[in-house]
Structure 1
Amino acid sequence: MKKLVIISLLYISLVISEIKGKTISEKEVFKDLPKGYYAAIITDFGTIVFELYEKQAPKTVKNFVDLALGKKEWVDPKTGQKVKKPFYDGLIFHRVIPNFMAQTGCPKGDGTGGPGYEFEDEFYEGLVFDRPGRVAMANRGPNTNGSQIFITVVPTPWLNMKHTIFGQVVRGLDVVEKIVSVPRDYRDKPLSPIYIKKVLIKRIK
């Protein structure tokens, strides 16, 4: 019993994931970061860590976190049934464009899927696409946010007031740049799938 408890505690505290044959812990992922609220997307190409803008986009951040941790119901497109499990784990980056952005969060893997619901935009004065590494909601028009997100690799001012920004990459922008540079088809879908292995969430106090 004691041995089982120790093993369980180690698993919970480390949240071990495999990246290209290397074991990495939650502690390592968020090491040396200042106080704040963070997410980490662990991919085949490495780890992308971004600060979550909870104050500027509270509903969007909560939606992303709850989906990532499996705290919110979403509709599985394969079964049509509502499920409650980590949403992003195992999804692919279905759209990548060099000198622009990488997009993920579609359960169908083709850009047409979502969680089975939509919610409104959140625009915050002064928070604009003026730098690389912005993390924002993809949509098909005003107030149609769901689960799809994208990460920019250059400033994209033409997206201002059109897409809700809810995070900023603080570590791993080079990983995003590698992702957007892979060979892709005419729909901008990578020829070889790039998977999200796991999404971690951490509040550093």
Structure 2
Amino acid sequence: MIDEKGILFILSGPSGVGKGTVRKALFERDTELKYSISMTTRPQRNGENEGIDYFYRSKQVFEEMIENNKLLEYAEYVGNYYGTPRDYVEETLNSGKDVFLEIEVQGALQVKENFPEGVFIFLFPPSLEELKNRIISRGTETEDLVTNRLLAAREEIEMMDAYDYVVVNDKIETAVSKVQSIVRSEHLRRERVAKQYKKILEADLG
């Protein structure tokens, strides 16, 4: 049995492209993937659980983690910090489990700086018109906010070169199947397999 380390997969893309929907559908199919649990300084809400919904920490602890490079990425939103704890990700990967992170583009670029060995997947809309329709269909955005999101989406799409794979989210089931194929393919990459079999050969020769 090959003692294989897990892989960090990062799913990212512009707001409204359907990252959450694809991720949820993927997890219904693949029960082996581990979702990356975020850390936050916002208060724990009724019904939420530590280590399941979030890791809840004080602002002081969070800022110390920033200083000590203990976060793969972080952002501040409405006065609270949100981020991805490095230790949780690395411990899960070292246990042989794949970790899946669904995140905005800016956060994904931070992760790439701090964890370049991750596999970065860009979820692409079928068209900007379709992206606009999806944002409008939420019913929660003003006309100005829709315009701003589309402008941001154009800028984010230009950052696509930083990613390893691009998946067009036209049909959810098709997009999920493509992401699954990426997960399987990454485990078969020569570089990963070679490392594991070299250990076996060294053990046999020893």
Question: Which bin holds the TM-score, normalised by the shorter protein?
Answer: under 0.3
Report which of the two has the higher share of strand: 1
Report which of the two has the higher share of helix: 2
Tell me the TM-score normalised to structure 2 length: 0.24
Structure possessing the higher relative contact order (Cα contacts under 8 Å, 6 or more residues apart) = 2
Tell me the TM-score normalised to structure 1 length: 0.24
